[in-house]
Chains A and B, each alone.
Chain A
Amino acid sequence: MKEKAFTLFLLALFLFFLPLALFPLSPLGPLGLPPVYLYLFGAWGLVLLLSYLLFRKP
């Protein structure tokens, strides 16, 4: 499990530290919501889902 946890950590690091300023993001995106927050909460949710799947059976 340690290897998987570390891999997930690296994935989370990549998702959270992606330099979003380099992408042409507009202030408002799908559903009338800002893409930067959609991305950040989406990435966060994905990491949580994966950690739930990884850690649910200790």
Chain B
Amino acid sequence: MSPLFLLLGLFLYLGLLFLVALFGEGRGRAWAQSPWVYALSLAVYATAWTFFGSVGRAATQGATFLPVYLGPTLVLLLWPFLHGKLLELARLHRLTSWADYLFLRYGHAPLGFLTALFLVVGLLPYLALQLKAIAQAFLFLSGEEAPLADVALPTTLLLALFAILFGTRRLDPSERHEGLVLAVAFESVVKLLALLLVGGAALLALGNPFPKAMERPEFLPLLLPPEGASGYLAWVSLTVLSGLAFLFLPRQFHVSVVENVNPRHLALAAWAFPLYLLLINLPVVPLALLGRLHFPQENPDLYVLALAQEAGPGLALLAFLGGVSAATAMVIVESLALSILVSNHLLSPLLLRAKALGSLLLWRRLSILLVMLLAYLYFRLAGEAYALVGMGLISFVAVAQLAPAALLGLYWKGATWQGALAGLLGGMLLWAYTLFLPALARSGWLPGVFLEGPHPWLRPEGLLGLEGLDPVTHGFLASLLVNLALTLGVSLYTRREAPKEGRTGEVAALSALIGRVLGPEAEEGFQREAQGLPGPQAAARAEALLAGSVGPATARLLLLSVTERAPSEALVEEAARESREVRAYARALEEARRELAEAYERLKAQDQAKDELLAAVSHELKTPLTSVRALAEILEAHPDLPEEERRRFTGLLAKEAARLSRLVEEVLAYARLQAGLPLRLEPTSLKTLAEEALALAKPLALEKGVRMEVHLEEVQTLTDRDRVLQVLLNLLHNALRHAQSRVYLELGREGKEALFRVRDDGPGVPEALRPLVFEPFQSFAGGTGLGLYLARRLVESLGGRIFLEAGEGASFAFTLPLEVDRADPGGG
């Protein structure tokens, strides 16, 4: 195929990618924020390694290409535990990488620095792999013999330009890059379709490879599971390694955490992304077998292209673009993620010291270029000596070194920064010794001693004399076990530091700082957000904002200038406790004051009532007393009064004396009630009690010429008979005084109550006065005005009710409970 045609295809594809990214930042923003695009963006995991390398590995080592995809499937099943927690932390603290998290968790700046440095070095082989894939594909299809490096360099520069344009427009990397995400999702679709089409076309053109493979004994191991304990151990190790890599690769953190717009998108991604991986792996084995059958002399990493070329130039170009899309998506996102790491943890602290923080964005762009050029350099140094998968796995083992410090930090409070640092250093050293340096030695850039080691027990690819493990499984197990042991062991023997002191500051000063570092737009945003927040919260918010852009360590240093130490938690707790006690004391005082005021008001009312009573009683006593005195004086002064006149006067005298006596009795009853004498409850026949009251009222009835009518049922209850008798007598005397010819007394049951009714055929109570009849000193017919009031108080003290019924004449009724449950056992 013509190199010019291929170059044209490559540039047109990259141009299309630019357009997709622009669309994502404009009208396609809603698309870019959909859960499907999020799931597809996770497929940045499937790189040129997947597109070309998996077929190469399947063609040489059978099923061992699959664990690389089973690992992420397993990890995503745990998203409610892992990613859910991570997203929450990232949102709160604007995390941009695992290095940010390690600094946040352990509060030790060198840890972030070391992580960033190590990840850059550790991922160079992986980036180099992508450059190699593009260059290799280009040269294979064009038939050129030029060195790989000639094509890789311009590709490197072009991809760096893309990452700079769509990844570093703003300083804050924790903001979303919708254009970038949509471009990555688009590339995921392209590489999937390309591989499926190549696989389908190859099967159609060349037929089912499996029966043919059966006829070749050397193919049989490719169709069987890995053999022996070492094969099984390699399978399990590779699955675990891939799962950890999926979790800790900087580009995966970037797309799954930083670019996540909605945590709920994870639920769809948890099955949709593994489904993507399954689909893209479906054609791998057939392609691998067809490649070996038809191109036995060809590099297995190029089988996809060779088979596509066999089917025609169109499919070859599609396969080339599929591989390019797989490589470019990875390179763009990974270089962006690494540049953020470099600028946040390596450059920012230096620029702060040089008072040149304003140029951070420029430095971040330059760091993308630097990372890409370093990857190119690695590719020149070691790339041509390694298969694609072998290079990628070295990087996988490097990022897996973050696992002990990060996962123990997430779920174990006992992890200390000393433990994390020791584990990370131990893991890194072993990774370099067992994988990285031997890779360079194999390429001829280092002497052979880096492959053999200074002693048979220290052989880099067989420590302690271990034989039979492949170098990656060996390096992974050795480095991770040492890392884990150091992290756990050192953490157990070091004390966890007290949490860093909080800072507090004025919103105005914090806003000004944010304005200086992040610009006026960020300053306004912060002012709106922090308005009304307490000092410590505003300072924490400002720190998170700054940390997202300049890294957590630099953010903390910047804050020192505009904040001061917040009071310690113990002090705040003590103040809060004292404040709570003071508030409780004040509430108790207020309660006591209110009770005293109420008691005073009650006393005042009682005093007033007493005065009113005294005045009323004096008035009521004065009238009959005056009459008695006048009659007595007449009788004394006129001994010769006629007998008839004398009898009339003595009759009047007796009547007035009786009135005086009744008045005194009622006043005494009122006094007893006020004194709160206890009830004397006893089983009582209410019918007998009513008959007793009738007998006592009978003289008055005879005197008035009023007929008494009764209807009494037998009713028994537990009550104070004297009080009931007094109520009955009060009502009967009232009725007799006002009746014209008859008084009716009734006793019966009504539900759970006994009901007395006393009715007369007198004029009744005027409508306007009905609400007042049970109030004290409300006399409407020359009485004391205490009778009905006393009756009401007595009935209520017995748990009953008294009321005036409607109708002709006056009809008073009261009830008594048959089941005694009194709220006022003291009476009164």
Name A's B-contacting residues (CB within 8 A): 1-2, 5-6, 8-9, 12-13, 16-17, 19-21, 25, 27-28, 32-34, 36-37, 40-41, 44-45, 47-48, 51-52, 55-58
Contacts and interface: CB of A to CB of B under 8 A. Distances in A.
Nearest to A41: B278
Contacts of A51: 76-77, 270-271, 274
B278 A25 contact: no
Q: Which 5 A-B pairs have the closest CB atoms?
A: A20-B225, A58-B267, A27-B223, A34-B223, A9-B77
Nearest to A8: B77
Contacts of A45: 278
A58 B285 CA distance: 35
Contacts of A56: 267-268, 271
A34 B285 CA distance: 10
Interface string B564-607: 00000000000000000000000000000000000000000000
B66 interface: yes
B232 A44 contact: no
A26 B226 CA distance: 13
B690 to A, nearest CB: 74
A13 B74 contact: yes
B209 to A, nearest CB: 10
B214 interface: yes
B70 A21 contact: no
6 contacts: A5-B79, A19-B225, A41-B281, A55-B268, A55-B271, A57-B267
Contacts of A32: 208, 210-211
Nearest to A13: B74
Nearest to A52: B271
B231 interface: yes
B235 to A, nearest CB: 8
Contact of A48 (B266, B268, B274, B285): B274
Q: Is the interface of B mostly helix, strand, loop or mixed?
A: helix
| Best-buried of B271, B274, B281 by chain A (most CB within 10 Å) | B271
A27 B214 contact: yes
Given A25-B225, A58-B267, 20 more contacts: A1-B80, A5-B77, A5-B80, A9-B74, A9-B77, A16-B239, A20-B225, A21-B231, A25-B224, A27-B213, A40-B66, A41-B282, A47-B73, A47-B77, A48-B73, A48-B271, A48-B274, A51-B271, A51-B274, A56-B271
A4 to B, nearest CB: 9
Interface of B: 63, 66-67, 70, 73-74, 76-81, 208, 210-211, 213-214, 220, 223-228, 231-232, 235-236, 239, 264, 266-268, 270-271, 274-275, 278, 281-282, 285
Contacts of A5: 77-81
Contact of B225 (A21, A33, A55): A21
B224 A36 contact: yes
A54 to B, nearest CB: 8
B371 to A, nearest CB: 34
Given A2-B81, A17-B236, A19-B232, A44 B63 contact: no
B210 A28 contact: yes
Contacts of A17: 235-236, 239
Contacts of A58: 264, 266-267
A3 B267 CA distance: 15
Contacts of B232: 19, 21
Contacts of B63: 36-37, 40
Contact of A34 (B210, B227, B236): B210
Given A45-B278, A48-B275, A55-B267, A27 B77 contact: no
A2 B77 contact: no
Contacts of B67: 16
Nearest to B284: A37
Contact of A21 (B66, B76, B226, B271): B226
B241 to A, nearest CB: 13
A43 B678 CA distance: 86
Nearest to B281: A41
A21 B274 CA distance: 25
A28 B94 CA distance: 53
B424 to A, nearest CB: 27
A58 B77 CA distance: 13
Nearest to B269: A55
Contacts of B220: 27
B260 to A, nearest CB: 14
A2 B77 CA distance: 10
A17 B285 CA distance: 20
Nearest to B70: A16
Nearest to B232: A19
Contacts of A2: 80-81
A13 B220 CA distance: 27
A6 B78 contact: yes
Contact of A36 (B73, B79, B225, B267): B225
Nearest to B62: A36
Contacts of B210: 28, 32-34
Contacts of B208: 32
A52 B77 CA distance: 10
Contacts of B214: 27-28
Contacts of B271: 48, 51-52, 55-56
Contacts of B78: 5-6, 9
A12 B73 contact: yes
Counting chain B CB atoms within 10 Å of each CB, the highest count among A6, A34, A56 belongs to A34
A28 B223 contact: yes
B268 A16 contact: no
A27 B223 CA distance: 5
A46 to B, nearest CB: 11
